[in-house]
Amino acid sequence: MASSTPPYELVYYTGVPGRGEHIRLLFAEANVIYSDTGSLGMAGARQAVVEHLKGHQNNPPYYAPPMLKHGDLLISQTSNILMYLGQKFGLAGSAANSDEYRVNALALTALDGLSNEVHDNHHPLVSDLPYEDQKDESIRRNKEWLKLRFPKHLAYWQLVLEQSKGQWLMGDTFTYADIVLFQCIDGVKFAYPNVMAHAEKSGKYTAVFQLWDCVRLRPNIAAYLASDKRQKYDWGIYRNYPESDVVPTQAA
Amino acid sequence: MASSTPPYELVYYTGVPGRGEHIRLLFAEANVIYSDTGSLGMAGARQAVVEHLKGHQNNPPYYAPPMLKHGDLLISQTSNILMYLGQKFGLAGSAANSDEYRVNALALTALDGLSNEVHDNHHPLVSDLPYEDQKDESIRRNKEWLKLRFPKHLAYWQLVLEQSKGQWLMGDTFTYADIVLFQCIDGVKFAYPNVMAHAEKSGKYTAVFQLWDCVRLRPNIAAYLASDKRQKYDWGIYRNYPESDVVPTQAA
């Protein structure tokens, strides 16, 4: 069966982990061979992205990467690609129980709250303008976000893990939602080291930080993270602006 | 078969169309009977939402509505619920071609660009603070968004429809992605009547405005829109603030 399936091709930029990182981590965990336009270098990857966004054959044009090509199928949207691959590789829970929809809900919620919102913290106006053009707005948004949103997000994930009947978000079953939450927490740790150290010390979110630790120590994930395929955080979603990494007065 | 399937239960607020509207429209198009916590009134619906967010049995707690309950399955996230129902009711394209992932990509992109971004136009800082507390930031964001993002979004959907081999986003096959794009365009028309009238007159996005028109005239959709189940726009995602509905100098 494995030999008859067409190759998996990830179409994404290189130079930052970005949204594509969730997919690279899923491939790593599943130990699946795939091609990656990231290996073409910055310019080559960008060109491949532009080309694939046009759509082809039975595929519509898409708005933004990451994209996945698998035979005739070309799809975009991070959560969508994860759902497709998660089911192929047994990382979406029990199909008989329709777990893939529970897992997709969890993944979407992690991406909304701890990836998209965090991106918008440094780009509260439009992503098309540089940070420097919206720094005042960013500083104000950051302050409110850390006070009002950040504790809600961490408390939510703590609750999911406390209600879970096992060590993962979906009980004893490891799913790609655990990978997504790991990557989100990892990025937030990079962007807000002071705030996250404070949150960890508070003891309110022990299950969340433990999940981060358990995912990164899984053998396939650990090997990937130690490899040169793992991109460094830089200009992407997760940015460390010291002016924003300030523990709020009413701390989380 | 229909009689053996458990009932479909939508768990959402009432008082605005909101994210739940995409799901209500899908049910309308499919002519499926469902229960709706919206029928419990503002307070009753809110209470049902809070209760269901806790999760139960094999379902994790969720972060926000809409939610769908179908037998033992309870799921959240608009795009996720649409994908689940779309496949059940033949509104997700050809399963043999894995169209459900193309349709999900299109639906996610419409929700990102023309629902989430539009919401953030009036709440650029955090959704937890009122508009009045972030009005200055909102006015600046709106101006940039209308200049830089809005034309990109409309041009993208125009392109998808031009490349489509039929009248819908997925060629001749009507899918719930058409419903989602209709509802997004409809909301943006409410929020930005001047800007949208100008965009329509430009003649650049004829296919997009035509799609809006073709969806709203589908018999089941038209009947729903004329019924008292259709909520009025008010305090939700799509708000008409005249100070924001200003055609940009470099117009779309």
Nearest to B61 among A148, A149, A163 (CB): A163
d(CA A55, CA B171) in angstroms, rounded, equals 14
Taking only the tens place, the pLDDT of each residue in A4-56 is 789 999 999 999 899 999 999 999 999 999 999 999 999 999 999 999 999 88
Which residue from A minimizes the CA distance to B137? A137
Exposed/middle/buried for residue A220 (C-beta within 10 Å: 0-12, 13-18, 19+): middle
Q: Which amino acid is located at A153 in the chain?
A: H
The predicted model gives B104-122 an average pLDDT of 97
d(CA A97, CA A100) in angstroms, rounded, equals 8
- The pLDDT of residue B103 is 98
A64 contacts in chain B (CB < 8 Å): 109
d(CA B61, CA B47) in angstroms, rounded, equals 15
Distance from CA of B70 to the nearest CA of A (A): 11
Q: Cα-Cα-Cα-Cα dihedral of A222, A227, A230, A232, to 10°?
A: 110
Stretch among A217-221, B3-7, B32-36 having the lowest mean pLDDT: B3-7
- Mutation target for B interface from A81, A102, A135, A165: give the one with most B CBs within 10 A: A102
- Same fold for the pair A8-89 and A95-218: no
Q: What is the pTM of this model?
A: 0.97
- The pLDDT of residue A57 is 82
B95-218 CATH pick, 3.90.180.10, 1.10.760.10, 3.50.50.60, 1.20.1050.10: 1.20.1050.10
Above 70 in pLDDT, residue A251?
A: no
Take residue B44 and report the two structure tokens written for it: 């009753």
Confidence of residue B3 (pLDDT cuts 50, 70, 90): low
Contact A53, A12 (CB under 8 A): no
SS3 A74: strand
Confidence of residue B248 (pLDDT cuts 50, 70, 90): confident
d(CA B6, CA B11) in angstroms, rounded, equals 15
B159 contacts in chain A (CB < 8 Å): 61
Q: Verify whether the Cβ–Cβ distance A163 to B102 is below 8 Å.
A: no
Place of tokens 């010291």: A242
Confidence of residue A1 (pLDDT cuts 50, 70, 90): very low
Domain spans of chain A, in order of start? 8-89, 95-218
Taking only the tens place, the pLDDT of each residue in A177-222 is 999 999 999 999 999 999 999 999 999 999 999 999 999 999 999 9
Average pLDDT score, chain A: 95
Which CATH architecture fits A8-89? 3-Layer(aba) Sandwich (3.40)
Q: Verify whether the Cβ–Cβ distance A124 to B124 is below 8 Å.
A: yes
Distance from CA of B47 to the nearest CA of A (A): 19
